[in-house]
Chains A and B, each alone.
Chain A
Amino acid sequence: MVGNNSNAYSYYGVYINGDITSTGKLTNAGSIIVTADNTSSTAYAYGVYVNNNLNGSLVNSGTIAATAIGPTSAYAYGVYISGDLNGSLTNSGTISATAVADTSSASAYGAYVGGSLNGTLTNSGTIAAKTNVYSSSVGYAYGVYVGSDLAGSLVNTSTGTISAKAKNTDSYTPYAYGVYINSNLSGSLTNAGTISATATGNTDSAYAYGVYVGSDLSGALTNTGTISANATVTDSDTAYAYGVYANTISGTLTNKGTISATATNLGDRFATGAVSAYGIYTYDITGTGSIVNQGTILATADATNNTKSGNSAYAYGIYNQGSVAAGASIINSGTIQAIANGSGKNGTTYGYASAYGITVRGSLNGVISNTGTISAAVNTVPFGGVYGTVYGVHVSGDVSASGSIVNTGTISAAANAYGTSYPYPPSWRDGEVIC
């Protein structure tokens, strides 16, 4: 047995069975390469393993790579901190984790913090996580994983890349998260580089999140770089892509760069196939929370390869599932664009396509302000049949006395059909355009 891990197939580059204390420092300018494979059971690979808190510093300017290849399950961690990160983790080199599983699940974490990130994590290099699952099981890829709160700061500089790629070649679900925060973002997350998540599924769902905040974004998330999420299913069913996902927002989400979400269905197997792309997704904007866009937010959903009746594509620039509080706001002076491409076939099958620049599914008690450009478009393939719904700005609930929509910019919505028109079934309506 090595360390406290009771699993017999765990491989570690550097194992520290306790804290890195406030005076402690681990520096890697060379190579730490760990490979776990050809075992008969679950394989674990850890580049650097800290079996408690990181109170001092961990600096990587070299390479830390962990690869786990399991005949059943596989887990790979570039840097693993079981407790809190109270000190600093600085990467200007490469930290990577790759997990490949034949018959069960695979999980890969570039940098894993089991507890809270109270200190600083700064990346000016590459942090990458990748999974590949060849069976009917789940794959999880996390560029940076925080098991509890991000109360300190996470900075991805202009040269930094944080990426997560999850791929399943069989029938279950890949999940990819560029940055995953399990609970609250009460500190700051600043991205000037690239954060990306790519999930590729086959006959089941695929989920991709550029940045995921599981509870409240009460601090500040500022993007001047690129945050992207791409979810693709190669043979139908569902794909979900979220540029930024935050359960609630009571702090500030500011975008001066690009946030994009793309969901694509490449297959034609299931009539129920649905793809959904969300530039920014939240349930509620509470208190004085705000979404401020001075850059570009793009959401693209494409189901044009699915000609089965009932397939659908949904694109949302900003999606608010609940309400916007009286003191909260969505302010756009940049560009928000949502595009949904639907499909259908020669008047015999019909798909659905919906595009929303901004949608608030509950009450608007705060402010939506636009001095920039908000556009939404629904497109069909030539000779296709699509029931299209397109909105520039959409509020499902009430706009209360304290709520307002102020536009001095441009809001546009377009439904575009190509080729010969075929009559929809009587119970269907033509695509409506409301702005």
Chain B
Amino acid sequence: MNKSHRVIWSAVRNCFVVASETAKAKGKPSSTRKAIAAAVAALFIAPGMASAVPACGNETAISSAVGAQCYTDQNVTINSTGSIAVGSGNAVYVDAVPYTQAFINNGKISATSQVSASTIYFNGAVSGSIVNNGTVKVTPSKYWV
């Protein structure tokens, strides 16, 4: 673990984050920096949501039951037999600014959370298309106090 850190602007999280002392503060984000930012961002999200931002680049054609997914600017299709379900946080996190591709849900995407949650979260503007023919559902965990 790094013993010294620096604060840099993260386009991924749209906020300042603490990162490795070797992370660059400027320039076009590299895939490494995005990964760092996403990992650091995970430290700042609410308890129980640490799994909400998995490594991006998950399977883009889903026909079975899977957990949380993260995508970049990719075409994504959840088929009618496919489902994405999470117990907390975001079910789908799309890390693209903007998103220019096609996101199609013919299956089921669901999130259950004690605190905040999104089923499908786009981290920037959308210039492409989002199509939901299936079910998108957010349900809070019961009896959270």
Contacts and interface: CB of A to CB of B under 8 A. Distances in A.
Interface string B66-82: 00000000000000000
Contacts of A9: 115-116
Given A14-B130, A24-B125, A30-B135, A39 B120 contact: no
A385 B139 CA distance: 56
A128 B49 CA distance: 32
Contacts, number: 142
Interface of A: 1-5, 7-21, 23-40, 45, 52, 56, 62
A14 B46 CA distance: 19
Nearest to B120: A14
Interface string B4-17: 00000000001000
12 contacts: A9-B116, A13-B136, A16-B126, A17-B124, A23-B128, A31-B132, A31-B137, A32-B136, A34-B138, A38-B140, A39-B140, A40-B144
B128 A24 contact: yes
A13 B126 contact: no
B132 A27 contact: yes
A62 B137 CA distance: 13
Contact of A28 (B121, B122, B132): B132
A26 B133 contact: no
A26 B132 CA distance: 8
Pick from A11, A25, A33 the residue with the most CB of B within 10 Å. Answer: A11
Given A4-B14, A5-B116, 5 more contacts: A12-B116, A15-B121, A31-B135, A33-B137, A34-B138
Contact of B125 (A20, A27, A32, A34): A20
Contact of A27 (B113, B119, B129, B139): B129
Contacts of B138: 11-13, 33-36, 45
A45 B138 CA distance: 9
Contacts of A62: 132
Top 7 closest pairs, chain A to chain B, by CB: A18-B125, A12-B118, A2-B116, A24-B126, A19-B125, A21-B127, A15-B118
Contacts of A27: 129-132
B123 interface: yes
B130 A26 contact: yes
Interface of B: 14, 44-46, 49, 89-90, 97-98, 105, 113, 115-145
A30 B120 contact: no
A29 B133 contact: yes
Contacts of A56: 126-127
B113 A11 contact: yes
Contact of B115 (A8, A23, A35, A37): A8
Given A1-B45, A12-B138, A32-B136, A24 B121 contact: no
A38 B121 contact: no
Contacts of B139: 35
B117 A12 contact: yes
Contacts of B120: 13-15
Given A23-B127, A40-B145, A30 B116 contact: no
A334 B46 CA distance: 61
Pick from B46, B127, B137, B138 the residue with the most CB of A within 10 Å. Answer: B138
Contacts of A19: 98, 125-126
A317 to B, nearest CB: 46
Nearest to A35: B139
Nearest to A28: B132
